Amino acid sequence: MATRKLLLLHGDGIGPETMAEVEKFIAYMNEAHATGFETEEGLVGGAAYDAHGKSISEADMAKAMAADAVLFGAVGGPKWDGVPYEVRPEAGLLRLRKDMELFANLRPAICYPALASASSLRQDVVEGLDILIVRELTGGVYFGEPKEIIDLGNGQKRAIDTQVYDSYEIERIAGVAFELARTRSNRVTSMEKRNVMKSGVLWNEVVTQTHQDRYQDVELDHMLADAGGMQLVRWPKQFDVIVTDNLFGDMLSDVAAMLTGSLGMLPSASFGAPDEKTGSRKALYEPVHGSAPDIAGQGKANPIAMLASFAMCLRYSFQMVEAADHLEKAIANVLDRGVRTADIAPDGVAPVSTVEMGDTVLAEFRALMG
């Protein structure tokens, strides 16, 4: 029996309660389908800070490096507002991305038919939406140096962040976007700010060159990132794959998430380069939503984004395509039947709890798995 090594990092806020629902799926699959998942756990974010004074320990980093895939809940919350910047909860996530070299972040925004009316946009604008944001994840202003606040000595301070991209970083993320486009509607829109930023000029140049060299069969458009944001809320269905840098990708993916009705619905996957020997990629799967401290521990959180992240893990890290399809179908079926957590419940519909939603999707999944 194959073993499949998973590291579970529950994190903070609603992370633990949504991850607990995924754990039920893992247990079921091992029992009923001999899938051989071996799970380890670690601490990240505020939970790690409380235990070790760091946002992730070296031991847990080592577990992440050794795992076939990492499942990540969420980090952060007001409890840690005052902790030093270097060890704030988010630093644990950034360290994982950087050390595992997870440069490609896939953020699909799919509007489930049953939720088209839950979006803040008109139903016809979002119905049937299926776009994919490919966000560069290990470069740009998130990691560029210098990054500091200096005292100018005259009563003023100066804050500096550095937006920096090398051409190889742009080329490899563009390659990921073009490859994925070929499996979808074959269109890529690249977004940057070449009208203001040198990094935007280079981004545009390298994406164009990569297209020219290797992907002429894919349709390529360029958009300034601000106009792209506007187009995303005007008529999002014009897009197929959007490729953009770390910071623009952070913002545009939150916009795209909201098109689908709720931030509680969207999964994401982050990948490194394929290993030269085995071809396998380091991978981390996480919901796009954050730790939602305002509802943490109340059993109200929507576990769907976490479950859909696990579906991406089955599909991409373990090539368990059928199980992934069934899990995504189970989520859609349960939504079709009108089962709703509080974030997606319309007026007059009594919301179910996190555990009830997890159990309902699991029952549907079991039925589909046969």
Rg value, the chain, Cα? 20
**Nearest distance from C-beta of residue 107 to ligand IPM, angstroms:** 8
Say how many residues touch ligand IPM, by CB under 6 A.
3
Count the neighbouring beta carbons within 10 Å of the beta carbon of residue 350. Answer: 7
Give, as ranges, the residues between 56 and 95 that touch ligand IPM (CB under 6 A).
Answer: 90, 93
DSSP of 195-219, one letter per residue? TT-HHHHHHHHHHHHHHHHH-TTSE
Q: How far apart are CA 4 and CA 329, in angstroms?
A: 23
Comparison of 11 and 261: residue with beta carbon closer to ligand IPM: 11
Comparison of 9 and 323: residue with beta carbon closer to ligand IPM: 9
**Nearest distance from C-beta of residue 76 to ligand IPM, angstroms:** 6
**Nearest distance from C-beta of residue 1 to ligand IPM, angstroms:** 34
Question: Minimal CB distance to ligand IPM: which residue?
Answer: 90
Q: Catalytic pick from 54, 193, 282, 300? A: 193
Q: How far apart are CA 18 and CA 48, in angstroms?
A: 18
Comparison of 290 and 358: residue with beta carbon closer to Mg ion: 290
Give, as ranges, the residues between 316 and 345 that touch Mg ion (CB under 5 A).
Answer: none
Phi and psi (nearest 5°) for 136? -70, 135
Give, as ranges, the residues between 93 and 122 that touch ligand IPM (CB under 6 A).
Answer: 93
Q: Choosing among Mg ion, ligand IPM, none, which partner's interface includes residue 93 (Cβ < 5 to 8 Å by kind)?
A: ligand IPM
Is 250 known to be catalytic?
yes
Q: Catalytic pick from 12, 63, 68, 142? A: 142
Is 277 known to be catalytic?
no
Please select the residue that binds Mg ion; options are 17, 136, 245, 250, rule is CB under 5 A. Answer: 250
Conformational region of residue 296, where left means phi above 0, alpha means psi within -120 to 50, and beta covers everything else: beta
What end-to-end distance do the CA atoms of the chain give, in Å? 20
* Cα angle for residues 200, 205, 206 (degrees, 5° grid): 100
Q: Catalytic pick from 99, 130, 254, 359? A: 254
Q: Is 245 in the site for Mg ion (CB under 5 A)?
A: no
* Length of the chain in terms of residues written: 370
Is 193 known to be catalytic?
yes
Q: Choosing among ligand IPM, Mg ion, none, which partner's interface includes residue 328 (Cβ < 5 to 8 Å by kind)?
A: none
Comparison of 93 and 131: residue with beta carbon closer to ligand IPM: 93
- For 16-46, what is the HEC assignment? HHHHHHHHHHHHHHHHHHCCCEEEEEECCCH
**Nearest distance from C-beta of residue 370 to ligand IPM, angstroms:** 36
Comparison of 119 and 309: residue with beta carbon closer to ligand IPM: 309
- For 69-111, what is the HEC assignment? EEEEEECCCHHHCCCCHHHCHHHHHHHHHHHCCCCEEEEEEEC
Name the token pair of 270. Answer: 């982050």
**Nearest distance from C-beta of residue 138 to ligand IPM, angstroms:** 11
Count the neighbouring beta carbons within 10 Å of the beta carbon of residue 137. Answer: 27
Say how many residues touch Mg ion, by CB under 5 A.
1
Give CA 311 to chain center in angstroms: 12
Is 68 known to be catalytic?
no
Question: For tokens 């555990």, what's the residue?
Answer: 355
Comparison of 178 and 316: residue with beta carbon closer to ligand IPM: 316
Site string for ligand IPM, 238-257 (x = CB under 6 A): ------------x-------
**Nearest distance from C-beta of residue 75 to Mg ion, angstroms:** 12
Catalytic residues: 142, 193, 226, 250, 254
Q: Which residues bind ligand IPM (CB under 6 A)?
A: 90, 93, 250
